[in-house]
Amino acid sequence: MFQFRGFAPTLALFVATSVYSLQAQQLPLAPGVEKLCSIEFNKDSRRPARVEDQALPCLEQAAQKLNDIPGVKLVLVGVAHPLYDHAETEHGTERMQEDATGIDVRFSDVAAYRAVNAKAYLTQWLRADPTRIIPTTDEYTLARRVIVYIVPGDADFNHNYTKTTPTNESRCTIKPCPIATEDVLTPQPRGKIAPTSVTRAR
């Protein structure tokens, strides 16, 4: 009888991915919560949390929404995938300190860095108000993206309406601030995306 080595773990991961994604998609959104758009992180495997060129339309849409509706905030939900993000095999198995380049990022930090880096781009290049953007992660969703949600304006670090895990930023902008002794993330550098780069990326 044939034995397919490695087939069972791969099948199990596929099933788990499908179930998690299905659960995440079926979760009802709270009143006042709207899914706006999502940003993919699937082009730069060396820097898995770097905001890519094709993210610009979604980021511009998010910034415009903040300008158009003063009474709302944004929740950025960073997610990662243990198969496609290569878990501990390539990224940061021994790193003890934060890596500013974005190349050596532990898998456990990838989702959080994606959300923090997306927020940094919004605030630095699109002039969005940092106090109105909450970076979070969702360990139950498997993907390589940041999902952008519009939430009511009273959302804060402890209550973001999406039931996702808040990310501690090195510069506290969302009140109340997280505990100072907890690990914090500093955004990784990213230059301004040229519109022509977006056209080429499509």
Establish if 52 belongs to a structural domain: yes
CATH of the domain at 178: 3.30.1330.60
Establish if 89 belongs to a structural domain: yes
Predicted local distance difference test score (pLDDT) of residue 72: 98
Establish if 22 belongs to a structural domain: no
Establish if 139 belongs to a structural domain: yes
Establish if 59 belongs to a structural domain: yes
Q: Where are the alpha helices (DSSP H) in 55-97?
A: 56-68, 87-90
As beta bridge partners, residue 158 has: none
| Model confidence pLDDT, tens digit, residues 118-131 | 999 999 999 999 99
Establish if 15 belongs to a structural domain: no
Helix (H) and strand (E) counts in the chain = 5, 5
Distance CA 180, CA 201 (A): 40
Establish if 6 belongs to a structural domain: no
Distance CA 143, CA 21 (A): 8
Q: Which two tokens stand for residue 145?
A: 């993206």
Establish if 14 belongs to a structural domain: no
Predicted local distance difference test score (pLDDT) of residue 106: 85
Which segments of 107-169 are extended strands (E)? 133-142, 145-152, 165-166
Expressed as residue numbers, the domain containing 187 is: 30-201
The stretches in the chain having pLDDT less than 50 are 1-26, 95
| Model confidence pLDDT, tens digit, residues 37-46 | 999 999 998 8
Q: Give one word for 57, left, alpha or beta, with left for phi > 0 and alpha for psi -120 to 50.
A: alpha
Predicted local distance difference test score (pLDDT) of residue 38: 98
Count of domains in the chain?
A: 1
Predicted local distance difference test score (pLDDT) of residue 176: 86
